Amino acid sequence: MRICLALFCLSFHLVAAAQAALIIENVNIVSPHLSEPQFEMNVLVEDGEIKAISRTTIDVDGDVPSVSAQGMYLVPGIMDSHVHVSSVPGMGFGVEPVSRENPKLVEKYYQQQPRSFLYYGVTQVLDPNPGVHWQEFTAANAHPDYFRCEVITSKSTFPLVEKIDEASKVMFEYLVDEGTTTGAPGSPEDIVQAIHASGALCVKLYFEDGYGNASHWPLLSEETLARIRHAATLSGLLVLAHANALDMYEKAIQAKVDVIAHGMWNWGEYSRENQIPQPIAAVLDQMVRQGIGYMPTQRVIAGLGEVMLADAKDNPEFPAVTPSEMIDWFGTPAADWFREELRVGFDRLPDQTIADIFIHGRVGKGALVMRYLADAKHPILLGSDFPGSPSFANQPGLATALEMKMMADAGVGLADVLAAATINNAERFGLQAQYGTVEVGKVANLLLLSENPLETIDAWTRISYVILNGVLIERSTLAANHQAGRRLKLGSARVSFSCTRPC
The whole-angstrom separation of Cα 232 and Cα 230 is 5
The whole-angstrom separation of Cα 468 and Cα 45 is 11
Question: Among residues of the chain, what percentage have pLDDT more than 90?
Answer: 80
172 neighbors 132 (Cβ within 8 angstroms): no
**Which pLDDT score, from 0 to 100, does residue 390 have?**
92
Model's pTM, two decimal places? 0.91
148 neighbors 200 (Cβ within 8 angstroms): yes
Backbone angles phi, psi at 265, to 5 degrees: -95, -30
Residue 266, beta-bridge partner list:
245
Could you tell me the CA-to-CA distances from 492 to 175, 330, 476 in Å, in that order?
52, 35, 11
CA dihedral over 191, 214, 98, 402, signed as positive or negative = negative
Better pLDDT: 9 or 438: 438
Mean pLDDT of the chain: 89
pLDDT tens string 140-171:
999 999 999 999 999 899 988 876 667 667 78
**Which pLDDT score, from 0 to 100, does residue 20 have?**
76
66-75, 263-272, 483-492: least confident range: 483-492
Determine how many CB atoms are found less than 10 A away from the CB of residue 291.
10
**Which pLDDT score, from 0 to 100, does residue 228 have?**
98
Q: Work out the angle between the directed axes of helices 188-197 and 222-235 (0-180°, nearest 10).
A: 30
The whole-angstrom separation of Cα 231 and Cα 222 is 14
232 neighbors 192 (Cβ within 8 angstroms): yes
- Residue in 397, 396, 391, 320 with CA at minimum distance from that of residue 359: 391
The whole-angstrom separation of Cα 369 and Cα 281 is 9
Which domains, ranges and CATH numbers included, belong to the chain?
Answer: 2-75+438-498 (2.30.40.10), 79-428 (3.20.20.140)
Q: Is 481 helix (H, G, I), strand (E, B) or coil?
A: coil
pLDDT tens string 211-244:
877 788 999 999 999 999 999 999 999 999 999 9
Helix H or strand E encompassing 300: helix 298-306
pLDDT tens string 302-348:
999 999 999 999 999 999 999 999 999 999 999 999 999 999 999 99
**Which pLDDT score, from 0 to 100, does residue 100 have?**
86
- Residue in 212, 102, 100, 192 with CA at minimum distance from that of residue 149: 192
